[in-house]
Amino acid sequence: MQEHLILVRHARVDTDPDTPASTWKLSQRGRDEVARFAPVLATYNPARILTSNEPKAVETGQILADALGLPVSARPGLQETDRETAPWYEKSSDFQAAIQRLFENPDDIVFGEESASDALHRFQAAVSSLIADYPDQSLAVVTHGTILSLFVAHHNAIDPIPFWKSLTMPALVVLSLPTFQLLKTEHTST
């Protein structure tokens, strides 16, 4: 029986203000950092790695899988909140304010095309499907900071905003099963 679920935030990306964030790929720094982060994930003994279908998550998962000798595959539903038409923010503080509005108004579409509640419902259904598909395996799921924070906050008595701000790229959180209680967070050193 599974004892825990490991959610991994993808590594650093090369940003491009002219394309949606869902298309971004890892930067060289991100690839290097995730390779160095693989031994941290290894301590939790995942049997396989599943990723969102976004390139940055797929790349992160592939680097981890190669380092650990694990199978890896992308699955629908694990992607970030849908924000294809969200504007580019020059200032980090403006982007953080947009994410804060998303967390504070979960039932409204305030950033992109999906409310936080709808994104959480989609992600939760995808995670439940993975757990049912691999009932006797510890899974590492490579996903994204906002959706990961929504999920963890939903199942734990934490404020998602400071939790989201604390996540490095990459980072991982270990959750107990079946309750999804937060057991541990591991960050990369900067």
Of residues 48, 47, 99, 39, the one with CA closest to residue 75? 48
pLDDT digit string, tens, across residues 56-108:
999 999 999 999 999 999 999 999 999 999 999 999 999 999 999 999 999 99
The chain-wide mean pLDDT, for the chain, equals 95
Measured distance CA(178)–CA(190) in Å, rounded: 33
Sign of CA dihedral 149, 50, 171, 40: positive
Number of structural domains (the chain) is 1
Question: Stretch 165-178: mean pLDDT, rounded?
Answer: 96
Q: Is the pLDDT of residue 30 over 70?
A: yes
**Residue 1: what pLDDT?**
53
Task: Provide the residue range defining the domain that includes 139.
Answer: 4-187
Confidence class of residue 11 from pLDDT cuts 50, 70 and 90?
Answer: very high
**Taking the model in full, what pTM does it have?**
0.96
Sheet holding 72-74, edge to edge: 72-74, 48-51, 139-143, 4-9, 171-176, 182-187
- Supply the CATH number for residue 133's domain: 3.40.50.1240
